[in-house]
Structure 1
Amino acid sequence: MTKLSVNINKIALLRNSRGRNYPDVCAFAERCLQLGADGITLHPRPDQRHARYSDVTELLAVTAAHGRELNVEGNPTAEFLDVVLRARPAQCTLVPDSPDQLTSDHGWDLVRDAAALRPVLARLRDAGIRSSLFIDVENPHLAQARELGADRVELYTEPFAETFGSERSPAVLAAFRRAVGRATDAGLGVNAGHDLNLDNLADFLTLPDILEVSIGHALIVESIDMGLPAVLAGYAAIIAAARAAAPASGR
């Protein structure tokens, strides 16, 4: 069953732009959960230009109060790992972004980065935190994520979003279908995220076995236009329709 985790970095960016706690990140997260979101995602970067490390602990309390999950994303620097291991969110998604990167735009090289990732994944496992690795759809070593100790992979969906509605779209979606199959065959759970939105999500969820989609930028923009209740109701309807149409998984 696919779950929706709302990435609230853009709300944190608005807050930071004025130097006050407005909009209130925790209040926005709580409203999302009240409106049916399954969890909250936060991606603090070293410069804390939007999400702050202090937000992790505060949002953990909000999600726990609703019986929902907090997913903390980021590059596993020493400071990031210290925050995550102290807070112990339900899930930590490791992303190979550099400090000056505008947004996440590629996944891990599971051969080159294996030695660095293995001990980090072990520390997350020992702390009882579910781990996920941000991965490109065409990564030939995707299944190795399981051997490194990851519980899940998050497929970087920008290639799908970029080609959605074009003549390339069926071929790109087929590549994602193959990636999902390789991941589940290896015993990995599959999450997905980056530029999914109300227009393209239904098509993406024709893929089987997607456990979670993390949506932030588009959801916030859509909410400016349509209002948050209508937008979250729209996502809930898409996910429910995909669930009803999906055949029972044979995996």
Structure 2
Amino acid sequence: MTKLSVNINKIATLRNSRGGNTPNVVQFAKDVQRFGAQGVTVHPRPDERHIKYQDTRDLKPEVYTEFNVEGNPVTSFMDLVLEVKPTQVTLVPDAEDAITSNAGWDTVKHKAFLTEVISEFKANGIRTSIFVDPNVHMIEHAKATGTDRIELYTESFAHQYGLGNQKAIEPFIKAAEIANEIGLGINAGHDLSLDNIQFFKANIPGLLEVSIGHALVAESLYLGIENVIQMYLHRLK
């Protein structure tokens, strides 16, 4: 079964819009685990516009499933990850002013940098993953950095699938096949939802984990958080 990691950034966004501590991101993380989620994901950015660095520290003792911390490995982010020591760190090349992640790593251009960063995280017992587009060349070079896994950036699939184009899955199948051949674990995330997750899961060999936040929280407004998590788990079997 593919694991479901719930990205709780949107809960922090809602909290920050009003100030105070409602909704409480730590309690939300406890609840999604209690409802069956196998992981919690956060993506702290330097401007802390949603998840704050302190949130990440506060979550560490409360996440008893897998704790995945995503972000661009700037110095402050690296210091945070090395302090918290989550289960997994996912490296994302997002600009500081980006609304959301919008591209994978160029693992050729940034090979030396990624290799150095990954080496430090792995020396501290933290599993590593690199956010990549479904590009075979980039995946092959990701292997050379020493990363444990890749996370496939699925925005293009989600958009095209929503338009009725099921062939949009094809580059992701090829990417997964290559990753399996060279021994890289496969995660995936971005715009995955109840509408497309079952089709994606059924077609991607060796899919270990998906990270879902925006769609899951939006769907929960209508269907309830516990119910939505159960719906995802059913589709991921």
Give the TM bin, normalised by the shorter chain: over 0.9
Gaps of 5+ in 1: 241-251
Q: Which residue in the other structure is 2:224 paired with?
A: 227
Q: How far did 1:139 drift?
A: 4.9
What is the total number of aligned residue pairs between the two structures? Answer: 236
2:236 alignment partner, one of 230, 234, 239: 239
State whether structure 2 residue 75 is matched by structure 1 residue 78. yes
Instruction: Sort the Cα spacing of 1:116 and 1:201 in 2 relative to 1 into closer, same or farther, 3 A.
Output: same
Runs of 4+ in 1 over 3 A off after TM superposition: 165-168
1:116 deviates by: 1.3
State percent identity of aligned pairs.
48
Match of 1:118 among 70, 91, 115: 115
Residue in 2 aligned with 1:244? none
**Aligned to 2:213, which of 213, 216, 230?**
216
Contact preservation (8 Å) 2:132, 2:138: no
Q: Distance in 2 between matches of 1:99 and 1:41?
A: 19
**Separation in structure 2 between the aligned mates of residue 35 and residue 167 of structure 1, nearest angstrom:** 32
Question: How far apart are the structure 2 equivalents of 1:124 and 1:48?
Answer: 22
Q: Distance in 1 between matches of 2:209 and 2:192?
A: 12
2: distance between equivalents of 1:145 and 1:205? Answer: 22
Structure 2 gap segments, 5+ residues each: none
- State the shift of 1:166 in Å: 3.7
Other-structure match for 1:182: 178
Contact 2:3–2:210, Cα closer than 8 Å, also in 1: yes
Rounded to whole Å, the distance in 1 between the matches of 2:23 and 2:8 is: 11
Aligned to 1:40: 40
Distance 2:166 2:216 in 1: 22
Tell me by how many angstroms 1:17 deviates.
1.1
- Please tell me whether the aligned partners of residues 136 and 174 of structure 2 are also in contact (alpha carbons under 8 angstroms): no
In the TM superposition, residue 180 of structure 1 has moved relative to its aligned partner by 0.3
> How many angstroms does 1:58 deviate by?
1.3
The code of the aligned residue for 1:38 comes to: Q
- Relative distance call for 1:40 and 1:228 in structure 2 (3 A) is same
TM-score normalized by structure 1?
A: 0.92
| Counterpart residue number, 1:246 | none
Tell me the equivalent position of 1:191. Answer: 187
Q: Indicate yes or no: 2:152 matched with 1:155.
A: yes
Distance 1:168 1:53, change over 3 A: same
Question: What are the Cα deviations for residues 105-144 of structure 1, in whole angstroms up to 9, with x where unaligned?
Answer: 1000011111211110000110000000000012522122
Q: Distance in 1 between matches of 2:136 and 2:95?
A: 20
Q: Deviation string for 1:213-245 (max 9, x for gaps)?
A: 0000000000001111110110111112xxxxx
Q: Is the aligned partner of 1:109 residue 2:106? A: yes
